Amino acid sequence: MRSAALLYAVLAIVFVGPALLPGRTLSNSDSLYFTAPWAASRPADLQRPSQVADEADWAHMFEPFLRYNREEFPGIPLWNPYLMSGRPWIGNAQSGVFAPLTLPALVLPLGVASGLVVALKLFAAAFGMFLLARSMGLRWAGAFLAGLVFAFAMPMVSFLLENVTAVWPLLPWLLLATRLVVMRAGALAVWGLAATAAAVFLSGHPETIAQVFAGATAFLILQLLRKPREPGHRAAGWAVDVGRFAGGVLWGAALAAVAIAPFVELLLHSSDIAERGVAVHRELPGSYFSTLFLPDYWGRGTGLTIGAQALGRFLYAGALPLLLAAVALLRPTVERVACAAFAIACTAVAFGVFPFADVANVLPGLSKTDNTRLVVIGLPALALLAGWGLDDLRASVVVADRRRVRAALILAGVLLCVPLSWLVADRLPLSELGRGLRVAWGLATPASVEVMRLGSLVLWLTMAGLAAALVALRLRGRISPAAFGALAVALVVVDLFRAGMGFNPAIARDHATQPTTGAIRYLQSRRPARFVALGEAMPGNLAMRYRLYDARGYDFPIERRYRRLWVAAVNPGQAFFAGFSAPLLFSQVTPESTRTLGILGVSDIMVAPGSPPPRSKDLTPAYRGADATVYANRRALPRAFVVSGQRVVKGEGAALAALREPAFDARSTVIRERSGASAPAGPPPGRARVLSYEPDRVVLAASATRPATVVLSDLYFPGWKATVDGASVDVDRVDYLLRGVSVGP
């Protein structure tokens, strides 16, 4: 066990090694230098992003989240004031405040921590898979190979920088805990499951958590069926074991309540569940099945690209593991057939194959998730099959049976030749084969799609050919079991490292952090006023880096009223992804959008240099520079103001309609949704100003000549409390989604 742990640790460090060198870091944040306001500051030696744009979630979303966690540590803010006019921080779950595998990033410099966190993810995935395989009877070599396949295959590697891989590496640990609860029972096993389940719950990304527990439930069923029981006592035994499993998961949820409770609260106040449904059930294009054999068929994110890079490389787990998995099925035990069926079913769901996808899309937990990623949930099954196949060949179980020898050799030949069908279908020019050879061995970069695909085919034929030759030598008794095991592990390492190493780029640290440009400094001088950027300028959550307050945001779940107002009044052309709106963008300037943004306290709008100026009498240039132009919104209200008039309406819909009325003046009238007498509109009876604005605490100074409402243009959300002159008062929801506090003269 110690030797396996040491080897996995070494391999994980080697895999991310380039990012651990002085002056380097694991990141694709250099892509930000190709958008405003940083394009004008782009270093001369940076000619193209290190990775294509479809892999930008790290730079746009998760890296700002990680920075915020690190800068606030050891404190844990409950509120994020920098996005969407404020929103719960822990409640979004994706922030991963308590994720065990990202904890090093809270205490280490981020430039170093990003590589070490990825290495920790790889190690946890590999070693957990090794322990699971050993518990299921695999020998050391087979179990070690299973760990390699699960951790270093492209389904895992493609998303290493994202928060889904804070959850996926814990899957084999959860399966191991599930197995121990059934096979060994006892309180210790239940508490082990509880601890593992808590770690999963704390790791963020609820979709992935739901899929991981779906995989654990399927594994539970297999363990229940495989456990020896006395006839007549099976039903009772199953009930007891299911109860232990459920108890362990529930205790784990209780331990992780600090993350679960805020998420559930935000989810219930969001439109996420209602909007998710059939639309979220994406499926991989059938053409992406080619990546089972050719990971570079759709390009490489750090070079020539065609399709989406993460999903376009999503199936590759190596040539030899595929062959070994097929060899394992030559001895079709219940566990092996079940693993094969589960891996095939998960892949079929990902590709939308009937009836697998239709069944998964109505199952509790999976009906609201993006099930293309179920490929990863089936990956442990493939890893186990590969390990069993290796053990069979080392133990000569297959070697002694001539029929199985012939079957294994035929399988090897089929796997070797299948990708040639893509060569025929694509009509790739054989005249370019020489260039393809050079591309395959890294001696040249692909100049065309045809050359890139020829290079990918050459690599497959090489790896699959070596795998077939190695298996054939073992089947003919020309190589010893020990040598076969060592060579098999070495070949898998070379194959998977060749496919995945460098997919997540190691870049210069100077390129990973963008400077504070003139436009950003101008916006900082306007704090606590909010801003938005028009179009592609300053994407997503980057405002968090600079402690700016952005009315947009890329974060889930989105509070229902905020999302509804945004897509109705601010950005009616809002793009939708899988049925729900994210990120919240701002792509068009209209009289209603500037007025609504003004109510939200948006004083400035950033526009990329060279873009046509917005045609609006509400906007005037306030800053011009090579990095961006910033327009002042004359319709912007102060972040805090005093109102004496009020209008009482019935219900959420009426409040939204009242807010959107062109004649509505938020400075003279406040909209309320509870019973009470309306008050006539009038000039402001006083003024308010922000004295202190922190994530979890806001201090205002206000004066009023008569009873009034102090309005703070922050999102109303349960949990906020207020005092006026030291006395506790209610926080009301006013103007559809803002906070209001009643004050006397």
* pLDDT for the residue 295: 83
* pLDDT for the residue 449: 75
Amino acid at 110: L
- pLDDT > 90 fraction of the chain, expressed in percent and rounded: 66
Per-residue b/e over 681-691, b at no fewer than 16 CB within 10 Å? beebbbebebe
Q: What pairing do the DSSP bridges indicate for beta strands 602-607 and 530-533? A: parallel
Structure tokens at 201: 């719950």
Task: From 12, 2, 7, select the one nearest 123 (Cα to Cα).
Answer: 12
* pLDDT for the residue 300: 65
* pLDDT for the residue 502: 83
The upper half-sphere exposure of residue 383, i.e. CA atoms within 13 Å in the direction of its Cβ, equals 34
Amino acid at 200: V
**Weakest-pLDDT range from 392-396, 491-495, 559-563:** 392-396
Over the chain, what is the mean pLDDT? 89
* pLDDT for the residue 737: 97
CB 641 within 8 A of CB 711: yes
* pLDDT for the residue 675: 66
Residues 438-461: what's their mean pLDDT? Answer: 77
Residue 280: is its pLDDT beyond 70?
A: no
Residues 381-387: what's their mean pLDDT? Answer: 98
pLDDT tens by residue, 639-690: 999 999 999 999 999 999 999 999 999 999 999 997 666 677 778 899 999 9
pLDDT tens by residue, 582-618: 688 999 999 999 999 999 999 999 999 989 999 999 9
Given pLDDT bands bounded at 50, 70 and 90, which one contains residue 180? Answer: very high
Residues 215-222: what's their mean pLDDT? Answer: 96
Q: How far apart are CA 465 and CA 438, in angstroms?
A: 18
Query: In 569-627, which residue ranges form alpha helices assigned H by DSSP?
Result: 591-599
Per-residue b/e over 226-255, b at no fewer than 16 CB within 10 Å? eeeeeeeeeeebbeebbebbeebbebbbeb
* pLDDT for the residue 677: 60
pLDDT tens by residue, 302-313: 566 665 545 656
Residues 85-100: what's their mean pLDDT? Answer: 92
pLDDT tens by residue, 28-74: 899 999 999 999 999 999 988 887 655 678 888 889 999 999 999 99
* pLDDT for the residue 575: 65
Residues 196-216: what's their mean pLDDT? Answer: 95
pLDDT tens by residue, 705-745: 999 999 999 999 999 999 999 999 999 999 999 999 999 99
* pLDDT for the residue 398: 58
Q: What is the pTM of this model?
A: 0.94
CB 729 within 8 A of CB 741: yes
Non-local (6+) Cβ contacts of 679 within 8 A are: 644, 645, 646
